[in-house]
Structure 1
Amino acid sequence: MTELLNTLYVQTQGAGLYLDHDSVRIRTPDDESRRTLPLRRLDAIVVYGHVNISSELQARCAEDGRSIVWMSRAGRFLSRMEGPVRGNVLLRHAQHQIHDREQTRLAIARAFIAGKIQNSRQIMLRGARDVPDADRKRDIRANIKECETYLADAAGAVSVDQLMGIEGKTAQTYYEAFGWMLRPDNDTGPMRGRNRRPPTDPVNALLSFLYGLTRSLVHGAAEQVGLDPYVGFLHSLRPGKPALALDLMEEFRPVLADRLALTMLNRHQVQARHFETLPGGAVNLTDEGRTIVLTEWQRWKQREWKHKLLKRGVPAALLPVVQARLLARHLRGELSDYLPWIPA
């Protein structure tokens, strides 16, 4: 159990959270003592795996507008609760209408992919500069050139399906370079492409965990602004699939998740001992590993990044809110285009 910057993270399996007047009472199986935290100190509660939350506490959090996020023990996003929907119906109505306009939807989807490719390119440029091995530098730079070609292809895409194909090729090229950016003395082993559901090596396990945190952040931003997280422009509609949250997440993956993963691995903050292999081959972070990553994630969210449109620094935790507001302005016709966030 960890309280970090107004967010309570609970990963002790079998723990229970209960409402106790204006506080949350925490019980753990191996500790008879009771710990309480004032609810006014908490903006969000995030639980991993088998953690029980009483219906009374859920109702109070919904009433207060305090989010509760459920994650799998491996860090995969499962669900989010935040009480009554915020925002006005006119914005969501405009969002639904634009989803049905093929060319407008395509233009927004192109922007999401352009942001992802540009930010992936930034990570690779940094990696090519930092890796000492000349052969790795050459290979990373070759992949950068390849992604620049995909960026041009995305600008000329004539359908969302074509865009998704370009995104897939970009991801394959990018994750190949990502493996080369890991230091050779990293004891978690090499990364040979992206694998998930479940991840089968420590690097992919760390990426999946950070992607889950990023997704929760972006999903919350969409709801905060009043957008419908389930009606997107790039990802297809499917019951229970937060398509817009996945759309907005694309431009943030490289900087918020991938760069943090590289930093933690190359600095040996996360090591092989912080992972466990489960029956069947799935790899997860251990409890200690999750605590380390969550601590660094909270620090990472406080880092300010320059926003070109706003012409000032914005904490990473607020960047998804800024972008969701820019998207809302575009949907309402106040901005001619949606501009993805790219670090200055």
Structure 2
Amino acid sequence: MSQPREVDNSVVQKNSWHREMAAIYLIEQGTTIYKEYQRFIIYVSEKPKLEVPIREVQQILVFGNIQLSTPVMQVCLREQIAVVFLSQSGRYHGHLWSSEFRDLDQELVQVRRWGDAAFQFQVSQAIVYGKLMNSKQLLLRFNRKRKLPDVERAIIGINQDIEALEFSESLDRLRGYEGIGAARYFPALGQLITNSRFEFSLRNRQPPTDPVNSLLSFGYTLLFNNVLGFIIAEGLSPYLGNFHYGERQKPYLAFDLMEEMRSVVVDSLVLNIVNHSLFKPQDFDTVPSTGGVYLNQSARRVFLKQFETRMNEEVSHPDLQSKVTYRQAIQLQVRRYKQSLLSGVSYEAFLRAM
């Protein structure tokens, strides 16, 4: 059998996968993916084919107009490879997953816990604590040498918000502190950008209206899909969250469990990418009808590789003596949540050490 091939030349397709990746990112419109023996074959007209061993894939992300053959969908269902469907700009549409792998007993526990106010509050308090702590740590780390007064004031304010969490008595109060912390954090994050070609002072989305917001939104989309994949793989329903809520049915548990990982995985990555000039303003396109700003396809491929590199970086996690990748840390956090559901152990957020 021939070895998997990765082609690197001027007509290479813009879809992304390499041997360190656990996910296939299908971003080039008109792509077809089909199955041949134990490999996925990714094909775009008049471009070299990309061959990927099925055993090395955990997730397939489909952006926009991409064709999946029936055998591809069948093997994904059989091998528990999550397929996530998104718009071309990265908005979540839905996912493909076999109902055979649902654990109804666990989902019944989730439903009972969903009505347990004390459980919901404890998990939500831990999530907000983790998010604020990791946000503060990022600001401390990047401001250690620069010592910018505005960033120092934001750190002091976030620290006050963290201390106030202990005295919060309702989910609404927790959501309030999370919102206040974000209002302090993002302007301070913008102060830490040293690349004069990029500015950022306010978080906006749907659509993002500047390049930095575009990078954050795209990074959060990728993080969300990794969290979602692990939730499904653990036999949990992603729709029964604790902190996030709304009238429409959405994967609120994935939104919950990604919160503590936002600054750790995405924000620090975006800050490094921007400050090291990996992108130029010309790498972004603006949609005239909405004002939305998005990475073009070539630049998106670069970002995907940077994201995967970050996900494969090693970090300490208290549940294991040896270091784990960020992707494994996310899996461990999903398992921590599962344990809190089933055994009553308090959920603890992931905290990145300085």
SS in 1 for 2:205: coil
- Superposed CA deviations along residues 203-255 of structure 1, whole A, max 9, x for unmatched, are 00000000000000111111122222110111115443111111101000010
Residue type at the aligned position of 1:172: A
- 1:126 maps to 141
2:122 maps to 1:107: yes
- Superposed CA deviations along residues 110-148 of structure 1, whole A, max 9, x for unmatched, are 0000000000001111122143xx5xx111010111111
- 1:200 maps to 209
Q: How far, CA to CA, are the matches of 1:222 and 1:182 in structure 2? A: 34
Contact 1:256 1:316 (C-alpha < 8 Å) held by counterparts: yes
Within-5 A mapping of 1:246-265:
246-265=255-274
- Superposed CA deviations along residues 169-193 of structure 1, whole A, max 9, x for unmatched, are 111111011110100x342x21120
- Superposed CA deviations along residues 286-335 of structure 1, whole A, max 9, x for unmatched, are 11111111111111111111113434422101111101111111222252
Q: How far, CA to CA, are the matches of 1:17 and 1:238 in structure 2? A: 35
2:39 maps to 1:23: yes
Q: How far, CA to CA, are the matches of 1:255 and 1:34 in structure 2? A: 35
Residue type at the aligned position of 1:227: L
Residue type at the aligned position of 1:171: A
Contact 1:19 1:25 (C-alpha < 8 Å) held by counterparts: yes
Contact 2:59 2:229 (C-alpha < 8 Å) held by counterparts: no
Q: TM-score, normalised by structure 2?
A: 0.89
Q: How far, CA to CA, are the matches of 2:89 and 2:178 in structure 1? A: 25
- 2:67 maps to 52
Within-5 A mapping of 1:1-344:
1-4=15-18, 5-29=21-45, 31=46, 35-84=50-99, 86=101, 88-131=103-146, 137-183=148-194, 185-187=195-197, 189-236=198-245, 238-280=247-289, 281-333=291-343, 335=345, 337-344=346-353
Query: What 5-or-longer segments of structure 1 have no aligned partner?
Result: none
Indicate how the Cα distance of structure 1 residues 34 and 254 shifts in structure 2: closer, same or farther if over 3 A, else same. closer
Q: How far, CA to CA, are the matches of 1:35 and 1:140 in structure 2? A: 45
Query: What 5-or-longer segments of structure 2 have no aligned partner?
Result: 1-14
Aligned residues: 336
SS in 2 for 1:163: helix
SS in 2 for 1:343: coil
Q: How far, CA to CA, are the matches of 1:109 and 1:212 in structure 2? A: 21
SS in 2 for 1:339: coil
SS in 1 for 2:42: strand
Q: TM-score, normalised by structure 1?
A: 0.91
Q: How far, CA to CA, are the matches of 1:254 and 1:300 in structure 2? A: 12
Residue type at the aligned position of 2:149: R
Residue type at the aligned position of 1:72: S
Residue type at the aligned position of 1:307: H
Residue type at the aligned position of 2:28: T
Structure 1 vs Structure 2 CA RMSD:
2.0
- Superposed CA deviations along residues 42-101 of structure 1, whole A, max 9, x for unmatched, are 332222222122334212211221121223222333322232353633332222212211
Cα distance, 1:34 vs structure 2 = 5.0
Residue type at the aligned position of 2:281: A
Q: How far, CA to CA, are the matches of 1:157 and 1:198 in structure 2? A: 33
SS in 2 for 1:250: helix
Residue type at the aligned position of 2:236: L
Contact 1:224 1:321 (C-alpha < 8 Å) held by counterparts: no
Residue type at the aligned position of 1:107: Q
Cα distance, 1:107 vs structure 2 = 1.1
Contact 1:85 1:226 (C-alpha < 8 Å) held by counterparts: no
SS in 2 for 1:3: coil
Q: How far, CA to CA, are the matches of 1:171 and 1:117 in structure 2? A: 8
Indicate how the Cα distance of structure 1 residues 120 and 85 shifts in structure 2: closer, same or farther if over 3 A, else same. farther
